[in-house]
A and B are shown apart, each in its own frame.
Chain A
Amino acid sequence: MTGISARRWKKFAPLFLLMLPGLAYLIVNNYLPMFGMIIAFKDVNFSKGILGSDWIGFKNFEYLFKTKDAYIITRNTILYNGFFIVVNTIGALALAILLNEIRKKFFQRFYQSIIILPHLISMVIVSYLVFAMLSSDTGLVNKSILPLFGAGEISWYSSKQYWPYILTVVNVWKGIGYLSVVYLASIISIDPEYYEAATLDGASKWQQIRTITVPLITPVITMMTLLAIGRIFYSDFGLFYQVPMDSGILSETTNVIDTYVYRALMNLGDIGMSSAAGVYQSIVGFVLVILSNYAVRKFSKDNALF
């Protein structure tokens, strides 16, 4: 090695060392398991071992597309998650901007904590909070709220038409706090001089938001959205399984890929078929990320992830 490169090496070595743990983590947890993808194409027999088991092509994937339900679950998964992404992003952004405008530190912290609290509650508990609202025997809505308006009782857990709204409300309530904190963090990091200059020029609050805040945190918004799109085929299992209390009647509006796979394989316990579902979800997610990143690149090169 020449003297120069040795010096450079010395300069960058700590950075590489800092990268090492993260890299090792990624390789061990995210790359090595990819070997397991072959399970999705095999009829796994433990006495033969994973490598020795027979190849069966796409047979493990068939059950995902077997019935008319395939359409319903794919539609539900994409529509719900797509809608969640839009609503949560807009809501969280609005919330973050509002929080940023609060001048009293105490209240800002207070509201922030209140808003992020639902994010920390387990979905099972959330499902019982919802049940406390909607139960037909004792629920708050049926017993106290609907009578106020002179409306009759509604049997929520057997009426599928309400669930798209209920699930969206629960999802926003639970997810918005976390996302808004992410946005708030990037809003805070914007140099205050921009705002000072804008105020001097007589820009209104709304103009400042539109021309300074939003453009400056667009990279963060794009990144968060792209990441969410990558997971659009994965649904929050707790939300779709626990919150409707696993009520079969609702499945037309609550069945998503994850719950379908769970119900299909609960008795069968076939790891080939569950891997097939995982592979299907990852590949569609991967393609969607590439495509949306490509779209972002076309639109504005700086905001693309890669």
Chain B
Amino acid sequence: MKRKMIMLSAVVAMMLPLAACGSSNGNSSPSGSASSGASGDDGGKSYELTVAYFSLGSVPKDQLLIEQELNKITKTKINATVKLLPISMSAWQNQINLMLTSNEKLDLMPLLGTTYANQVAKGQLVQLDDLLSNQGEGIVEALGPDYANAAQIDGKTYGVPTIRDLAQSYGFYMTKDLADKYNIDLSQVKTLDDVEPILKTIKDNEPNKIPMVNATNASPLTSFSTRDTLGDDMGVLLNNGQDLKVVNWFETEEYAADLKKMREWYLAGYIAKDAVTVKESKSDIIKAGKGAGSLAVMKPGFVEQESRQSGAPIVSVEMLPPVAKTSTVTNIMWGIARNSDNPEKAMQFLNLMYTDKDVVNLLDWGIEGKHYVKVSDNVIDYPQGVNAGNVGYAGTGWLFGNQFLSYVFKGDDEHLWEKMKEFNAGAIKSKALGFTFDSSPVKTEYAAVSNVLSQYRIALECGALDPGKMLPEFIAKLKDAGIDKIIAEKQKQLDAWAAAKGTEGK
């Protein structure tokens, strides 16, 4: 009996750590088991690509069907199969960092403009220049040279932007019913002063609606810009980057005037009292009937998109012309992970995402007849009995390579992509388009300044703090944290970049 007990405890003791190891492995690497399973039936030549990307909702239920369908195409065209690995947006940064750090199998992934320079500095990405000229000509051709080179760091490319709205314009929008009710003509609105009377009308007549809605962790000014932020607003180029002098945005008169305006609006009740702590999206607030309108970043098709999200028709006006800056181009890109065993194959697949209509539409909209049906050559709709709520697959259009190859959904402008092309081509281009700041030489200051920004910025820009008193304090704290050192470093890198560009180009 006693012996039995000893045996039993021995067995239990042995099993516990094993079980623990097993489960922790399973948790940290959802892709590990999947890729090892597939490599088992590896016939020899065909390579399996792991493509991670972020998904905005839950994983669609027909995800596997899409993958099978996609593999039929890739098998014949580039002799490779693709393992799609959607990761939810909230977990993206952590997951992808873990995968990159732990050398997990990963070939392609989207890059975010905010972390791109850092990933390059840390050596996590494969340099793409040779690959682009050998396996990825289609990508360069589709993007055009200006935009294809926008992501260069030290003259080398590590990421390619997806093709979508590559510029941004800024404007004001509000729900159509209110505009009609009070006879508001948006076409004459050009400046913030022009917006003011509209806000007043709403405030006076619609006491239950916030005239100027703002998003979580943002202010109305977040979606209104005349500068090239150079990625992070720590040192910016004024006048949309038409000259290359880096200045401290928070010390400019323009910023002080904007803050003064926001303070007036806040005190007048045009901006929500809880603006600083708001936790709902703008469209949700408007949908709930609690908001009237907002300043926003715009592009062709904005009205249709926003009307859908807000659940009510809206009207809008463009107040500032479209501008292309590094940040608007590089905010979503694709890159090849250093972990990739076969970067050539990865580039071949990436090339398909920029040139192959079937691949793009499969990833954007799903399978024809099952997830969508064509109504005309270029326009699609849901099949009978299917709607936005129960469709088995819906991709994120601006994510998968070349959105201009995708079908237009019924209700959107049929010529949306032509208009978007014009929008991109006609945009004012910042002189610093293509410059990406590498913050690693000043990361101590960068971290300290980030903290000061998060303390003051939103509260000041929502008008919750009195700029007369707090703006000088804010500026003093920024200087204390070392913003001048960041600006000097940025100027140095920018000058070097401009000089290199000048000698190689014209």
Contacts and interface: CB of A to CB of B under 8 A. Distances in A.
Most-contacted residue by chain A among B444, B447, B482 (CB, 10 A): B447
A28 B458 contact: no
Interface in B140-191: none
B5 interface: yes
Most-contacted residue by chain A among B12, B100, B276, B477 (CB, 10 A): B276
Nearest to A251: B455
Given A155-B273, A249-B276, A267-B232, A63 B459 contact: no
Contacts of B10: 17
Contacts of B459: 158, 247-249
A14 B8 CA distance: 10
A17 B13 CA distance: 6
A135 B274 contact: yes
B277 to A, nearest CB: 4
Interface string B1-30: 000011001101100110011000000000
A23 B459 CA distance: 50
Interface stretch (A39-47, A143-151, A187-195, A216-224): A39-47
B133 interface: no
B124 interface: yes
Interface string A286-301: 0000000000000000
B457 interface: yes
Nearest to A19: B13
Contact of A18 (B13, B21, B118): B13
B277 A268 contact: no
Nearest to A153: B273
Nearest to A248: B455
A137 B5 CA distance: 65
B114 interface: yes
Interface stretch (A64-72, A88-96, A206-214): A64-72
A136 B443 contact: no
Contact of B217 (A21, A155, A246, A260): A246
A25 B18 CA distance: 10
A78 interface: no
Nearest to A249: B459
Contacts of B123: 45-48
A65 B136 CA distance: 47
Interface residues of A, number: 47
Contacts of A248: 276, 454-459
Contact of A268 (B6, B443, B456): B443
A46 B338 contact: yes
Given A14-B5, A267-B450, A273 B443 contact: yes
Given A46-B123, A137-B274, A28 B17 contact: yes
Interface in A250-293: 251, 255, 260, 263-271, 273
Contacts of A20: 13, 16-17
B279 interface: yes
B284 to A, nearest CB: 15
A205 to B, nearest CB: 45
Interface in A66-82: 66-69
Contacts of B45: none
B447 A264 contact: yes
A266 B446 CA distance: 11
A66 B444 contact: yes
A245 B277 contact: yes
A45 B440 CA distance: 11
A166 interface: no
A125 interface: no
B16 A269 contact: no
Contact of A69 (B20, B217, B446, B451): B451
Contact of B451 (A45, A46, A247, A264): A264
Contacts of B454: 246, 248, 251, 263
Contacts of B20: 24-25, 28
Contact of B447 (A18, A247, A268): A268
B439 interface: yes
A269 B13 contact: no
A158 B470 CA distance: 13
A66 to B, nearest CB: 4
B274 A157 contact: yes
A61 to B, nearest CB: 9
Contacts of A266: 450
B266 to A, nearest CB: 11
A195 B405 CA distance: 84
Nearest to B482: A66
Contacts of B93: 269
Contacts of B469: none
A131 interface: yes
A13 B9 CA distance: 10
Nearest to A69: B451
Contacts of A62: 444
A209 B161 CA distance: 71
Most-contacted residue by chain B among A21, A63, A158, A248 (CB, 10 A): A248
A20 B12 CA distance: 10
B9 A268 contact: no
A109 interface: no
A263 B451 contact: yes
B480 interface: yes
A28 B443 CA distance: 32
Nearest to B210: A137
Given A20-B13, A247-B277, A47 B451 contact: no
B297 interface: no
A21 B445 contact: no
B320 interface: no
B481 A66 contact: yes
Nearest to B290: A137
Contacts of B450: 263-268
Interface string A40-62: 00011111100000000001001
B312 interface: no
Interface in B19-53: 20-21
Interface in A99-131: 131
B309 interface: no
B101 interface: yes
B455 to A, nearest CB: 4
Interface in B390-428: none
21 contacts: A14-B5, A24-B16, A24-B17, A25-B17, A28-B20, A44-B122, A45-B122, A47-B124, A59-B444, A63-B444, A135-B274, A136-B273, A136-B274, A137-B273, A137-B274, A155-B273, A245-B276, A266-B450, A268-B443, A269-B93, A273-B447
The 6 tightest CB contacts between A and B, nearest first, are A47-B123, A264-B447, A21-B16, A245-B277, A24-B17, A63-B447
Interface of A: 13-14, 17-18, 20-21, 24-25, 28, 43-48, 59, 62-63, 66-69, 131, 135-137, 155, 157-158, 245-249, 251, 255, 260, 263-271, 273
Given A248-B276, A249-B464, 6 more contacts: A17-B9, A66-B447, A135-B274, A248-B455, A267-B446, A267-B450
